Structure 1
C-alpha cells in the first residue's frame, strides 16, 4: 500500500482532544433510508444497514467475480459497519476525516478488508489519534471479524492451494476452458483486474507446478490475449487472440511464453486445443458454427463435425479417441470420435437445464465427468454457492442416470474445473476472500 509520509496530512484536532461528538449507539446506520415514499419504515427501504452486525469471518459471501464484481456491494456493510462503529466511540468529525484520508490516500480499487483496516489505522495515526483512539479503531474492526487470516477461520477448505488471487478469465470473456493440469504442471487463464475495470482488459496465463516450485510464472504478452490453456507434458497450448483473430500456439512451460509456434490457424477463431503428443484437436469458430477439427501428425486438418449448426466445445484427445461436448436442441451430448475408424458415437449427458459449460471430462470414455451445480445461487440465494460434482462418464451417458458425488466439501464457490488425463487429480477455482487455484488428488465423495 502506498501511503504519504508521516506529517504530510494536517491534523484535524489535537491528539489529546476529548470526544464530545460521537455517534449515538442508537443511530440507525441506514443508507438510503429516505427512499421510502409509501409510508414504509425507513429500514424496509434502505439500501444498506451499517448496523447489521455482519462479520467477515462468519457472514462474508464468497460469490465469484461474475456476481456483483466479487460481492463488493453484497459484503460492503462488513467493512462499512466497522467504520460506522468507529463513529460510535470516536468524535464523528474526526472519524470522518480518518475515513476520507484513508480513502483518498491509502486505498485503491483492489484494497481488501485487512488492507482497509491497516489504511484506516495509518490515517488515524497521521491525523493525531491517541493510543486510546487506535484501540477503539482496532476494536471496531475486530468486532466485524477483520483480522489477519480471517478468510480461513469461517470457510473451510479441503484442498491444496496452488495460487492465491488470480481472477479467472472465464468470468470476463467467453471461454469454457479456463484451467489445465497434466502430471507435474498446471495452468490457468486469468484477467488483470485493473486493466479490466479500466476498459482495456489484458488476459494472460499462469503456469506452475502441482508440487513444489517457486510459484506460478506469468505467460502474458503485450497486445495479445492468452486463453484456453492446455498442458501436454512440458508443452503449453493456448489461444493467442489479436487484432486478426485467434490462433492456437504452442510454447514450453519452462520458457517465458514469448517463443511460440502456431499449430492451428485459419479464417475462423481457433480455440480450445488439446494434444496427445501425436495428434491435435481444436474448435474452429465461425459465426454461430463451432466445429471440432483433428490433425494427426503432419496430416491435413479434418472436420469431424461437418454437419451445419454444430455447437461443440472442450475437445479432449486420449487413447486414440477425441471426446467433446456437443450442445443441440437444449440437450448436452458427449461425442466420441475414433481416430482409427473415423466413427463418431453420441450419448446424452444431461437434461434441458444443463448447459455445456457445466461439464468437463478427462478424455477417456470410461473415466470421469465433472459438472458445476450452476443453479445453486439461482434456487438458494447467495449463501448457496456453486459446487462441483463428479460421476463416471459411462453412467452419465446412460440417459443421465448417474450417482453424482462431491469433488470437494469446501465452503467456497467452486468453478472452472479440469481433470488430469493421467490421474484422478482435479483442479479448479475456489473463492475464500479471494479466488484461488486449488487442487485435490482425487474427489472427496460424500460430504455428509
Structure 2
C-alpha cells in the first residue's frame, strides 16, 4: 500500500507494502554508502543510511568501550549516542545474545511500539572482548522512527479472525479453517498500523498463510505464504559417527543403541537408534546434543502434520530388532534420520551452532506423507519439524536428498536467527541461504570439489530416471543477475518471487564459496545470517551484511574485494533497480494491497493508500506535481473500490464498529468539499459495490440473498432501483454520459445467459441487450469487463473453455454495429477480463498459463492497447515485469500497477510503446 506523498523512502513487504518516514541523517554521519570498492579500499562502509528512517542501517569500524553484561552494555551504548542512532532505547527489548567461535557477541533487540512488536524492527549490537575490555565494534538493523499507531484494537477479535480466514484463496478451504493468533503486531508503514497476526490453514490443505489484519479497520493489511515446499538434492548415504555412550532418557525410558537400516536404494546404513523399555527399537538418536526422532506417517495426509504437533497416534519408525526392515528405507525414514544427523553435525562442527534453534532443541522428521492419498513429491519445514513426501512413481522419497534436508532445515536456522520475511527480496534471500547451506552440507559430506558438475545442483538425484541436470530444480551456477533476470511479480505469484529470484542472491553466495576457502565462506555467510540480517532486509542489505561479516572474520582486502566482486557479478549493487530500464513514470511506490485498484480521469488518479493520517483514499495528478490529497474520512472504516470522472470520486466504505454498515460516499477531488453519503445500508445481508460516477449521476449495485440489482442517483437525489426483469441479476456496472451499462445474468431453462445491457437515463429504459457471442469452436461464452467510452460499449466475450482466448467487442449503445476489436484468433487476444478504455483507445491485459519451464518475465501479464476505432494492437509498455489493474485516462494515457522492479508501483505512460 502506498505511503503518501510519493517522495517518502519505501520498501515493499507484499500484500501491503511497508513504508518508512523519510527523515534526514545528520551530515556528520552521511558517509559513502556501500558499493563497488576502489582497488585498495575496504568495501565495508563506515555507515549505511537507513532507507526512509533516521536510524542508520549499519555502522561499522567502531571500537568504543562498553563494559558490563552484553545486553545492558549494548543498550547503554545505543542510548549514549542519540545523535548517531536516533533510537528511543525505551522501545527496545532484548531478544537474546549469541557468542561466536571467536568470542564475539551479538545482542539482538526487537523494537516495540507501546509494548507491541514492530514487524521487522530489529537492531543488533556487536561486541568483542570481555569485562572492562569489552567494546562495541558495530551496530545496525532496522529501527522505524516516527511511529504513532494506536495500540488498542477497534475491531472485535472474532471479526479480525474472520477477515484472516477469508484471505485463503480457495473458498472450500475456508470452512473449518484454523487461525492461530500470534497477537498484535505493528506494521511500520508511515505512522504504523496496529494489526493482529494469524497463521491461517485451510481444511483442504494447500499453503498456509501469514495474515496481518488491521485492528482499526478490519482490513487485511499484509498476507503471504507461510512457507512453500521446494526440493533440493541427494547424496550417497553416509555412515554416522559411532554412537557415544549416553544415559537413558529419564522421561521416556529410551536407551541409546546402534543398528542398521536399509536406505531408499536398498543399501544398508548404520544408524543411531533408541531401545524402548519393551525391548523394541525406534529411530531416535540420543547421541547428539539435539535429540533426533524420525516418524513414519504411513501415508497420512500432509495436513495432519503441517504446522501442528505430531499427532498422538503417530509413532516413530520402529523395529522389533536393531536391524530395521526394508519398509524403513522404502518410506524414506532411514535417509531422513541419517541426513538430519549430518545437518546437525555440519552446523555444530563447522559453525558452532547447537541445533536449529541454537539451544539444542529436539529435531523431528516425518516421512511418507501423501497429498490426499496421492504421492507428495516434495518436502518442507513447517516451523518446528521436517515433513517429507513419499515421492511416488517418478521420485524417490524426498528425504533421500541430503541437500533437501539441509535446505529445509536451514529454514529452521533462519527462523531462529534473522527471521527473514517470506516475501519478495527478503523471502528470496531466505531461499538463497537455504540453497547455499543445503548444497554446502551435501558437498562437504560427499567430499565433492566445488567445481564438480553436481556441486551447484539442487535435487539432481531425486528422480528415479533422468540425468542429474534434468532432475535438478535449481542450480546455483546459473549466472543470473538482477538487471538481466530479476522477475518482477506481485505477491500472488511465488510470494513475490521468493524462489524465482533466489539464485540471483544464492549464486553470489555460491561464487564466494568457489572463490574463498569453503569453510571460510560458510562462516562468513552464517555470521551474516545470524548476526547482521533482519526480517525485512533486501538484496542490498544482504550484500552489506556479508561484507561486514567478512571483515569480522578477519578477511584481508583481497578477500573482501572478492566478496564485493561476487555481488557485482550478479548485479547486486546500490541502485540496481534503476538499471532495469523501465519506460513508465512512477506515481506511487509499493502499491501491493489487493484492494488498492487505481481509477483515473482527466489527469487525476484515485487509489487506496497510507498517508500521515492513516489508511484511506488519496488522489493526485498524473504529472506527479503537488501533494496527494486524502478524500476519505478518518472513521476507522475501509474505503476502497473508487471511481472518478476527473472532478469527483465515489467509493464504498465498509467495516468499522458493529452496526456501522456499508455506505456509498462521494467527494470532490480538490479535497475542499464535504464527503457526502449517497446510500447507506445497515443490513448485514446487503453488499454494496460497483460504484461509478459521471457528472451528477452516481450508480452502484446492491446485492442481497444472492441477487443483485443496479441503483442510480441523479443530482444528489435519493437513489432508485433501475428496472430489472424478475430472476435477472447484475454484476459489473459502467456509467458515462447518461448511459448505464451492466452485465446481466439469468437462467434460461438449463442454461445461464450473461449479456451486456445498456440503460438510457434520458429515456428511462433499457435500450439494448446484446446477444452473447461465441467464437467458432469455443463453446458457450459470457460477457465481462464492460465499459463505456467514445459513445461505444465495450466488453470481453469470455469462453467457458478458458484455454480459448477471449474476444474484445465494441457496439453502439442502441445495440447496433457490433464489431470485434480484437478477435479470439489474434495472438494478442486476452485471456482475462481486464479492460480499460478512453474515447480513443482500449487497453487490455494479455496473460497465459505458467510456462512448463517455469515463470519468466515474458510470461507475466502485459498490457496491450488498440485504437477504439480498430487497428493493430501494440504493447503499452516494454516494462519486463508483471503489469496489472490498468485504468484509462484521456487519449492513450494509462495508469497501472507495475511489478518490474521488485515492488508494485502505480505508474503512468502517455502513449503505447509499440513493439518491444
TM-score (norm 2): 0.40
Coordinate RMSD, CA, aligned: 3.9
**Equivalent in the alignment of 2:407:** none
Could you tell me how far apart the structure 1 residues matched to 2:631 and 2:553 are?
43
1:209 aligns with 2:621: yes
Query: What is the Cα deviation at residue 88 of structure 1?
Result: 1.6
Could you tell me how far apart the structure 1 residues matched to 2:532 and 2:582 are?
31
Query: What is the Cα deviation at residue 191 of structure 1?
Result: 9.3
Q: 1:119 to 1:300 in 2, by over 3 A?
A: same
Give the conservation status (yes or no) of the 8 Å contact 2:630–2:671.
no
Superposed, 1:57-206 pairs within 5 Å as 57-153=483-579, 155-170=580-595, 178-189=597-608, 204-206=616-618
SS at match of 1:169: coil
Q: 1:281 to 1:361 in 2, by over 3 A?
A: farther
Q: 1:139 to 1:228 in 2, by over 3 A?
A: same
Query: What is the Cα deviation at residue 141 of structure 1?
Result: 1.0
SS at match of 2:729: coil
**Equivalent in the alignment of 1:429:** 897
- Larger deviation, residues 348-357 vs 87-96: 348-357
Query: What is the Cα deviation at residue 134 of structure 1?
Result: 2.1
Query: What is the Cα deviation at residue 317 of structure 1?
Result: 2.5
Give the conservation status (yes or no) of the 8 Å contact 1:406–1:443.
yes
Q: 1:270 to 1:56 in 2, by over 3 A?
A: same
Could you tell me how far apart the structure 2 residues matched to 1:255 and 1:88 are?
59
SS at match of 1:411: coil
**Equivalent in the alignment of 1:441:** 910
Deviations along 1:342-389, whole A, 9 cap, x unmatched?
233244632414477422334xxx654322113264699622221222
1:360 aligns with 2:360: no
**Equivalent in the alignment of 2:680:** 265
SS at match of 1:416: strand
Q: Which has the larger radius of gyration?
A: 2
**Equivalent in the alignment of 1:286:** 704
**Equivalent in the alignment of 2:729:** 310
Deviations along 1:88-109, whole A, 9 cap, x unmatched?
2224344334333433454445
Query: What is the Cα deviation at residue 428 of structure 1?
Result: 0.7
Query: What is the Cα deviation at residue 431 of structure 1?
Result: 2.0
Could you tell me how far apart the structure 1 residues matched to 2:458 and 2:505 are?
14
- Larger deviation, residues 374-383 vs 82-91: 374-383
Could you tell me how far apart the structure 1 residues matched to 2:462 and 2:566 are?
28
Which of 336, 341, 347 is 2:763 aligned to?
341
1:239 aligns with 2:652: yes
1:249 aligns with 2:649: no
SS at match of 2:692: strand
Give the conservation status (yes or no) of the 8 Å contact 2:886–2:896.
yes
Could you tell me how far apart the structure 1 residues matched to 2:754 and 2:837 are?
13
**Equivalent in the alignment of 2:879:** 410
SS at match of 1:270: strand
Unaligned runs of 5+ in 2: 1-49, 51-55, 63-73, 75-97, 104-443, 773-794, 807-830
Could you tell me how far apart the structure 2 residues matched to 1:256 and 1:80 are?
52
Could you tell me how far apart the structure 2 residues matched to 1:222 and 1:104 are?
43
Deviations along 1:120-151, whole A, 9 cap, x unmatched?
22333344443223211111111112223433
Give the conservation status (yes or no) of the 8 Å contact 1:324–1:334.
yes
Could you tell me how far apart the structure 1 residues matched to 2:494 and 2:879 are?
22
Q: 1:13 to 1:412 in 2, by over 3 A?
A: same
Could you tell me how far apart the structure 2 residues matched to 1:293 and 1:304 are?
6
> Relative contact order, CA 8 A, sep 6+: which one is greater?
1
Q: 1:139 to 1:378 in 2, by over 3 A?
A: closer
Could you tell me how far apart the structure 2 residues matched to 1:58 and 1:178 are?
29
Deviations along 1:230-289, whole A, 9 cap, x unmatched?
2344544332231555432234545599x8443232232222322223111123233544
Could you tell me how far apart the structure 1 residues matched to 2:853 and 2:471 are?
23
Unaligned runs of 5+ in 1: 15-20, 171-176, 193-201, 396-401
Which of 434, 450, 455 is 1:28 aligned to?
455
TM-score (norm 1): 0.77
Q: 1:247 to 1:91 in 2, by over 3 A?
A: farther
Could you tell me how far apart the structure 2 residues matched to 1:32 and 1:425 are?
47
Q: 1:410 to 1:169 in 2, by over 3 A?
A: same
Deviations along 1:157-208, whole A, 9 cap, x unmatched?
33222122221425xxxxxx8111122421233699xxxxxxxxx9754533
Query: What is the Cα deviation at residue 295 of structure 1?
Result: 1.0
Could you tell me how far apart the structure 2 residues matched to 1:432 and 1:340 are?
45
Could you tell me how far apart the structure 1 residues matched to 2:594 and 2:609 are?
4
Q: 1:334 to 1:105 in 2, by over 3 A?
A: farther
Equivalent residues, number: 413
Give the conservation status (yes or no) of the 8 Å contact 1:370–1:389.
yes
SS at match of 1:82: helix
Give the conservation status (yes or no) of the 8 Å contact 2:605–2:619.
yes
Could you tell me how far apart the structure 2 residues matched to 1:101 and 1:218 are?
45
Could you tell me how far apart the structure 2 residues matched to 1:430 and 1:3 are?
28
Could you tell me how far apart the structure 1 residues matched to 2:527 and 2:738 are?
63
